[in-house]
Every structure is written in structure tokens, then in C-alpha cells.
Structure 1
Amino acid sequence: MNGNLVETLIGAVVLAVAVFFLGFAYNKTGFGNSGGSGYELQARFNRADGLVVGGDVRMSGIKVGTITHQSLDPKTYAAIVTFSVDSRYKIPEDSAVKVASEGLLGGNYLSVEPGGSDVMLKAGEEVKYTQGSVNLMDLIGQAIFSASGAANGKKGQDGDAPELSPLPSK
């Protein structure tokens, strides 16, 4: 009988710890805060690589909201990102939103850079000033190409393409 009591107590402790961690994860992810405590805004980007629904919206490095929806404008082919902002934070109408990277291996998030206007954005409005994501592989390719061109001394006058030399005549 003592063995069953010990096993039951250990099982109860394991269940209590599991419930504690579930509650902690629920609060930490903001899952419980998503219902109605904020307002939605939209932003258009030429590129929205790396953004995911549920991703962070940050201001000064602090999470102030969540990405709620992404779509593609069929006429302009711009990426439309809808995000919610905690109602405690008011965003000036001349603010800028950009796709920022957490690092080389990290994901992307929306970074809000507040403007100086006294007029605040209202729910459903669109942020006018945006900056899309930067393709890291393109940047690395450009850096390698420009470094190899400079090392060979064969850059053209405009710096874009290597200079072509004429073939020797026979």
C-alpha cells in the first residue's frame, strides 16, 4: 500500500509541475492577451521576407504587439501586413515600420520607429512609411563581387561591372 501512495504522490507532483509550465508558457507567449486588448494597423512592404503570423511587433526593442495577418495586394503585388498594437501604446501617424532581423540565424520582426506627430493612428489605418526586408544573400553576393573586382583592379568607371579588355590581334 505504501508503494501505491508514493507513486500517486509523485504522479501528482509531476502533474502540478506540468500545469505550472503550461500556465507559464501561455502567459509568456502572449496567447492569453490576444483578445481585444489592442488595435490593428496595416503596413505595405515591397518585401516581407521572414515575417510570420504571431511574430513580434517591437518599439525600442520592447514587444508592443503581434503580427496578425499577411496578404498580397493583387494589383500592386505589395505585401500587406496587419498587426495589432497593445492599446496602452499610441503610434504617431508619421511613424515608420520596418522589417528588422533578430540576427544572422534569427527570424524577422516588425520594428516601429515612432514619429513626432501629435496625431495618433487609429484602428484600421495604414502606416505610410515602411521599409521592407533586405535579402542577405544578395548583399553577400554584392560584397564578394565588389571585393573580387577591386582585388583584380578591373572595376569599370561606374564601379558596377568589370572592365572588358580587347582581344589581342593576330
Structure 2
Amino acid sequence: MRETDFDARYRADPDPFEVASSWYERRKESVVLACLARQRYTAAWDCAAGTGHLVHALAPRCERVLATDGAVTAVSIIGARNAERPGVTAELNTLPTVPPAATGCDLVILAEILYYLPAQARGELLEALPASAGEVLLVHWRHHADDAWLSGPAVHLEAGRALEAAGWTGRVHHVDADFVLDSWVRCP
């Protein structure tokens, strides 16, 4: 496995994954929004917001959205794309660290990021999810990229075991030809 320099990717191309133009990305975003348990959220945290397209679509359904990314260039792109969305905050954050601003978020989005984290970091992130989170949505590409530790299905299996052990309940499981999506809710 080779590690990816996401900052270099975003400096070379402000949309390195073709989020604005690919049918895969548009379809995935629509499915993500349709699978959310609630119409409105107090606060959402998109842990690896990339270009900020999902954040832009999610913002009208949330009082506030914390959009973080580990790439400085991506954070600038997120901020610019969502400048007219007053409830959106873009911050630099390296996972598995949970930023203080994520406290109070009732929705956490883990989109196309878990398989880029080593096993220990994946476990730490899932254990550190904000106590306020009532819903966690995971969505990942089904195939195995050469710069990822695991494939999407493998990372969803691993995360599912960890979330279930921590008292979460699976709500939606969707398998597409190119991505897998799981929504988990915290049981009282």
C-alpha cells in the first residue's frame, strides 16, 4: 500500500476525485441524503469533507455543519464552496482526532475516509465519536484502491462490529455496484 498525499492531490487539482462531474459521485450523494434518518439535524460533522460538495448539499438540513479535512488545500476549497452557507465551518483536522467543535453534533459522516486510516486510527476514531451523535453514516467505494488499507466492504464490516459492540444499531445497509453505505443509530 502506498500512502496518499492528499494536500498534493488538492493542490494539483481542486477536484481530484471529480466530485463535481462524475455520475458515481452525484448518485452517491443523492443516496446518502436519502438514507439519512431525519429531515433536520442540529449539527453534523463531515470528517473528511474533501471538496465540500456533500457539505453544501447537507447544509440546508442542519443548523450547523462542521466540515473537516486533513488537507489544508481541501479546507480552503470547502470554505470557498460553502461561503454563502452561514452554518458551515471548515476546519483543518487530522483523524482520528475529534475536534472540539464536533461536540454536540448529532450526525457524523464518514465518507470515503476509513480505508485510508491504519487499523489503530480507525478504532480510535470510532471509539471517540461524539457522545451527542445519534447517527453515523458511512459510505465508501466498494473497490480496493492501491492507496487504501482496506476495501469499502471490509472497512464497513470492521466498523460495523465496532459500532455494534459500542451499542449502535444498524439502520440502513445499501450496496451499490460501486459503493457501500451503512447508517447506524445510537440506541438509548
Decide: shared fold, TM above 0.5: no
TM tier, smaller: under 0.3
TM-score (norm 1): 0.22
Q: Looking at CA atoms only, which structure, 1 or 2, has the larger radius of gyration?
A: 1
Structure with bigger helix share is 2
